[in-house]
Structure 1
Amino acid sequence: MIVKTRIYRLKPDETMTQVLDDWCNYRRYCWNHALALWQDLYMAHNIFDKVVATTFIPKQNKKTKKWHMTYQDHHLNPSPNWRLVRDLMVEQKEEWQYAYSARTLQLAVQDLGKAWQNFFNKAQPDWGKPKFCSKKNSRQGFKTDRAKIKNGLLWLEMPKETPYKDHWTGIKLSEKPLSDKIGVVSIFKVNRKYYASVPYKLEKTLPKAKTGKGTGIDINVGHFNYQDGQCLVLPQSLRKLYAKIKFYQKCLAKKRTINGIIKGTQSNKYLRTKAKLQACYERVSNIQHDLMHKFTTKMVNDYDQIVIESLNVKGMLMSHVASKGMHRSMFGLFKQLLAYKCKWYDKELILANKLYPSTQRCAVCGMVKKGNEKITLRGNHKYGTKHNEYVCHNPNCPNYGQVVDRDENAMKNLTLLISHPELNKAL
């Protein structure tokens, strides 16, 4: 069995639109209330942790065979966890909360527990302390594990004390669902539009036909190079949208400040400009995800073995200029999509070592540039070459003195790891 997730645009009527808005607000209330309670329990735990019950017990020294009195500490307060917070919130429930699904509260507290676990793991991409949710956030949502799909409609669990009992209906989906067996549904609202992320439990699909071909993919800012061509990650359509985003951001900055005072954020002109900016961001996100899905699907269909670099993206974010290009190239999303698609269709994904010199190594003779011969972002000052040029200075190399595209050379070095896995190390 595999899990496939589809995101649908929801088309609710007036009653269900109000229900979705109320449940989004209720989930935000549960999260904030649980976070405040969690912090209070943590502070109480630290205070009571110093106040311990001391019990003296006799103990014999193994060397001297003498008896002496020792003491044992008993902690009076347990550390906070999501089950403890959930139980306390259920005990303190008010009457108006029974008009909402109980699963919304429990899943919100459970997500908060996962957020606290991620806080102690700095390797997480969005590492940080859990924060309170604001009603001003552009994205609001909730989760439910009691939703069902019947006759192509999404039905939510109807609480017993809801005021919309007589008008409770199913919600139309933008596309036909894959199956009736679903998991935890995540419903969210962005720019007054409602979406549902529905996971399906499906049988594993048949593997793709073997092609007997392999390729390495050299990841760069703006384009990805592979065996049979190049994929533009930042096409001209995206560049125009980014120019619009820059223009609208400047307009908002001017409208936000009046005579040096930050105000005017509720004016009609400000809200219209903000809506245009949000529409541009949504358009950019749709284009990027569509591009990445099509490219990764093409790689899985055409090749049996795929080699990509295991990059330290955080270490590469040197300046705001370089950071912007790397974020827009979506290195992390590309690796994530390619990994699960290779697993679905029984294709082999090979990760090159972080220290493998794919850029500095000659794909023909194998010589590795070191010291002042290395290619940097500014090229090579010793030989006067540009950053996108690779010139091998080994007299015994067939490409001696020839200017080769650096990205093509790196792609060939990555492809070489398929037939020579012993090279996948720092040279």
Structure 2
Amino acid sequence: MPRLRSSPLQPDSLLLLGSAVLLSSVPSGPVPAASSVVSESTVSWAAGALAVLRCQSPRMVWTQDRLHDRQRVVHWDLSGRPGGGPTRRLVDMYSAGEQRVYEPRDRGRLLLPLSAFHDGNFSLLIRAVEEADAGLYTCNLHHHYCHLYETLAVRLEVTDNPGAHWDGEKEVLVVERGTPALLTCVNRAHVWTDRHLEEAQQVVHWDRQPPGVPHDRADRLLDLYASGERRAYGPPFLRDRVAVGADAFARGDFSLRIDPLEPADEGTYSCHLHHHYCGLHERRIFHLRVTEPVAEPPPRDSPGNGSSHSGAPGPDPTLARGRSVINVIVPEGRAHFFQQLGYVLATLLLFILLLITVVLATRQRRRGGYEYSDKKSGKSKGKDVNMAEFAVATGDQALYRSEDIQLDYKNNILKERAELGHSPLPVKNIDLDREFRKEYCK
């Protein structure tokens, strides 16, 4: 969608709204796009079977408008107001010309051109701007038939210095309070302005490339139009065996059926979907391979296989007799799982029993040791101790002390000390000064 500059309207420019819109808009239109490959696959079918190449698209379903062209709608929303709040729907209009204003205060203040879906001008006119009108305005275009959605944003500011500028993402329009403002939204693409001959702009065709032939030299097989017209091409041996459902545009199913399939049908097939009105161009590629048909085994009761009606087929005499090994693989079931689980549980139970046995034996041994020590201590406690047995004969001690100890001493002082230590003599008062003097004189 083109982005166009907007400017505040002066009172003398409100006479011709349509002229003002056309002067500030630039015509635009979509450039036809080449078919884009959305899928590519390789399929194999046996010769003689029914081959089906799936090509489906819900966007190609053609439905006649029974609601007076209400499949195209434009609506203006307001968000980002200074006071905050959710997005508010201001006005909307269908392509049939029906216009609806949601707020009572905006009736008569907000206007959309009645010829919007004819000249592509969806601009919004605010007669007298108020401070509450400031915010972010979005122009939203919906085409329910083509599944299209386009939007354009314009920010409105109310100040004393009118003007307009671009902030890098959207247009910012600055107007004075009480003056009119025009929020420009122009899109002159034919999908928003034209509706006639929609069925003539929906085309589906199938192409076939034999092995080794490039895409630009493919052979056309079928042409299908939403109006019901069909055209068949291709070689005669294939033309009568290909078909597409009669209700293809009603269900969006354009699958190609080849019945019966022959080895000469092998190649590359392309399904082209063109919706010029909605701008849809898609291509699906199928690489078809034809395999040999699977031979059916002959019946057992046929006379040519050497068998009777009541018995199994006889052995082939041309085959040499020998030993044969047959490998039989029995799938594991639930019984095998439970068997393994039983082994694990039994092993765990034995381990627990062994552990309990060791613990009990250890505790029993410790308890026996405690009883033995208790008995021993009990015997020692119960026995009366006769202190007379431990009495020491004083007479022996006196005799021992009274014995003369034959020792050699170097001087008399040591001898006297030794005698004092071994004899129970009364305490003797010794003059230390005298002893020191004796020692000094020596």
TM more than 0.5: no
> How high is the TM-score relative to the length of structure 1?
0.16
TM-score w.r.t. the length of structure 2 is: 0.15
Higher strand share: 2
Q: Which has the higher helix share?
A: 1
Give the number of the structure with larger relative contact order, counting CA–CA contacts within 8 Å between residues 6 or more apart.
Answer: 2
